[in-house]
Amino acid sequence: MRAVVTGGAGFAGSHLIEALLARGDEVACIERSGARQGWLSGLPAQWHPVGLQDVARLRGILADADVVFHLAALTEGRSARDCYVVNTEGTDHLLRAAAAAPSPPLVVFMSSLAAAGPGRNGEPLDARTVPCPLSHYGQSKLMAEAVVHAWADRVPATILRFPAVYGPRDVMVPKLLRMIQHGVAVTVGDWDRPLSLVYVADAVAGLLAAASPEAAGRTWCIAHPETVTWMDFVGAAGRALGRRPLRVSLPESVARVFAVASEGCAHLRGRAAQLNRDRVRELTGRSWVCDPTPAMHELGFAPAWPLARGIDETVAWLRGQRWIHG
């Protein structure tokens, strides 16, 4: 089978490409112009640093593909428009190129729970949840889902909504773990807010399970079925690191002040702010719990990494890379 992966040099994408190569697939990776191969260096995957804006070039890459895993996304940009250019318009360009193929490939689109927004009334998020995204990132992913639906009569596609993905090669969790290793853990709002998570190996398993014609035309949530809290996360990380960190909870009003300052500094430096007001709104969402049981029952998705095991493996990998010590 010939598989194309957009965003394949990134965190989840590189794990997915390794899994595809391990089972004998021919793999091509589409990345943004100027991107480095990183974790893909030395692997027998075709490398296409062409981005998502040139439909003609995308058409050539997708012409004989059997499946396209669309993982490329921008979580924050220097302006709100950046998210829509990459996440929404880029998805339209990809689907347009796929539709031009003699036999359009199956597209597996990696969306996000941010497209739905946090749960309301204690109900877990699922494919039937009325969307109410809190950020430009979430809105741009929801609009990208609408693009997938708009092309459904010409390109078979599956939409997968993921919570936060963590594990080896992630860039965000190591920052949290380093903080915990130094004895402090910081959140915005309450520590008992429930959420779903997914370890990267389970995320890859969900993507592969969805690469089936039977999954096309549907939206699925991919996560481990255990519901955890931010306190559970810090507890698991503290045990893996041998630390009992001081837990600090910032009020939302204080976090917004930091976010405005972060946005101002990022603007002056011509960069995207890692903490912005959109992120604060999402962090203070009461519940980010989703229901993966339809994918488990109907796709055969079998998550195998609960939080404690996933954190232990992540910490062990980070120690092996000397990104954390002790």
In the 8-state DSSP scheme, what is residue 214? G
Kindly calculate the radius of gyration of the chain based on its CA atoms and give it in whole angstroms.
19
Q: Which residues pair with 69 in a beta bridge?
A: 5, 108
Full set of structural domains in the chain with CATH: 2-170+198-223+289-304 (3.40.50.720)
What is the number of alpha carbons within 13 Å of residue 248 lying toward its C-beta?
A: 11
Digit-by-digit pLDDT tens for the chain (326 residues) are 899 999 999 999 999 999 999 999 999 999 998 889 989 999 999 999 999 999 999 999 999 999 999 999 988 766 778 889 999 999 999 999 999 999 999 999 999 999 999 988 878 999 999 999 989 999 999 999 999 999 999 999 999 999 999 999 998 888 888 889 888 888 888 888 999 999 999 999 999 999 999 899 999 999 999 999 999 999 999 999 998 888 888 777 766 766 676 656 766 676 666 666 767 677 777 789 999 999 999 999 999 999 999 999 999 999 988 887 76
Residue 229 host element (H or E): strand 228-229
